[in-house]
């Protein structure tokens, strides 16, 4: 069973564009098995990093999405505690974990920094699957043309993007599993 890949759809919320200078405010993870069934979820709101600062542009964006921002500030945990619990949780599954993000370059950058800084290891190694890159290859479109507005509507789940990390992780995980199933011929 350890050779079977499961997909860990990860969404994060931050107060700026780069880890260490800025803080991850929350992260949500939805785990899907090879059949596309949601197996488990993980969610944490984090205290900000000592010495880090909020980015002005990011905070202006949050001001327009105040309700979602307020969710990230409830029941915050120390990053060390949250990341230890998260890594232990990922490692508890009898599978090969695959990090899935949209965009993976942003979400994985923060998650990897936090895992390495606070726990010293990543159960995902250095790898992250980017949904947009996968779509670009599947649709044979340029990367920048592989946006959600150019994806077939049949791929999208009923869930809406809320900017609440766990909601968005579930939504993007279902989107990815629909794309994967179609690509592998399991419509």
Per-residue pLDDT for 33 more than 70? yes
Name the residue ranges covered by the structural domains of the chain.
5-183
Selection from 45, 112, 39, 117 nearest residue 80 by Cα: 117
**Residue labelled with tokens 């990093």:** 49
SS3 readout for the chain:
CCCCEEEEEEEEEECCCCECCECEEEEEEEEECCCCCEEEEEEEEECCCCCCCCCHHHHHHHHCCHHHHHHHCCCCECHHHHHHHHHHHHHCCCCEEEEEECCHHHHHHHHHHHHHHHCCCCCCCCCCEEHHHHHHHHHCCCHHHCCHHHCCHHHCCCCCCCCCHHHHHHHHHHHHHHHHHHHCCCC
As a whole number, mean pLDDT of residues 77-102 equals 97
Query: Which has more pLDDT, 186 or 126?
Result: 126
Per-residue pLDDT for 56 more than 90? yes
Selection from 126, 114, 104, 124 nearest residue 82 by Cα: 114
pLDDT at 97: 97
Percent of the chain with pLDDT over 90: 93
CATH class name, domain 5-183: alpha beta
Q: Do 50 and 93 meet the contact criterion of CB atoms below 8 Å apart? A: no
* Residue 159's pLDDT band (cuts 50, 70, 90): confident
Determine the straight-line distance between the first and last CA of the chain, rounded to whole angstroms: 24
pLDDT at 187: 57
* Residue 170's pLDDT band (cuts 50, 70, 90): very high
């Amino acid at each position: 069973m350890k050779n079977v890949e499961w997909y860990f759809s990860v969404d994060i919320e931050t107060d700026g564009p780069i880890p260490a200078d800025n803080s991850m405010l929350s992260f949500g993870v939805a785990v899907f098995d090879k059949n596309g069934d949601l197996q488990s979820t993980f969610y944490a709101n984090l205290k900000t990093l000592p010495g880090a600062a909020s980015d002005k542009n990011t905070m202006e964006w949050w001001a327009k999405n105040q309700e979602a921002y307020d969710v990230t500030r409830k029941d915050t945990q120390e990053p060390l505690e949250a990341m230890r619990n998260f890594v232990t949780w990922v490692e508890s599954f009898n599978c090969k974990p695959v990090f899935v993000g949209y965009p993976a370059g942003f979400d994985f950058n923060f998650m990897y920094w936090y895992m390495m800084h606070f726990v010293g290891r990543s159960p995902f190694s250095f790898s992250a699957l980017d949904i947009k890159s996968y779509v670009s290859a599947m649709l044979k479109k340029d990367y920048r043309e592989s946006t959600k507005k150019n994806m077939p509507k049949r791929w999208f789940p009923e869930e809406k993007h809320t900017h609440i990390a766990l909601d968005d992780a579930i939504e993007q995980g279902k989107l990815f599993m629909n794309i994967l199933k179609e690509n592998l011929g399991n419509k």
